[in-house]
Amino acid sequence: MSDLSLWGMFLAVGLGTFAMRLSFVELYGRLRIPALLSRALVYVPASVLAALVLPAVVYPNGQGEFVLDNPQIPAAIIAAWVAWKTRNTVLTLAVGMGVLWVFKFIGS
């Protein structure tokens, strides 16, 4: 790929990204979002967070296989339970990290 075509591709992708983001800013408030779509969009942040965190928990260190003696799995389950019961982010992080450290200390 030549330098000119590479720069052209960078420019096209940048303009496309800018146009997509600008469309949300410019069209916000002008278009009415259907109630069903509005209710569904509430769950997007949680699903994105799960999609980012779950592979790091289940496949530590970028492994391609599921490891049963992975201490991150029970720590994540306990942290999820604390988050569900308390709805406290700081407590969830503290308990999750504490449990992970305990499991790593016991396992080594």
| Residue 108: per-residue pLDDT | 55
| Residue 23: per-residue pLDDT | 84
pTM of the model: 0.60
CA–CA separation, 71 and 78 (whole Å): 11
Name every residue whose Cβ is closer than 8 Å to that of residue 70 and which is 6 or more positions away in sequence.
Answer: 57, 58, 60
CA–CA separation, 36 and 52 (whole Å): 25
Give me the tens of pLDDT residue by residue for the chain, a chain 108 residues long. Answer: 788 999 999 999 999 999 998 887 787 777 788 899 889 989 999 899 889 988 888 887 776 777 777 888 899 999 999 999 999 999 999 999 999 999 989 875
Domains of the chain by residue range: 1-31, 42-107
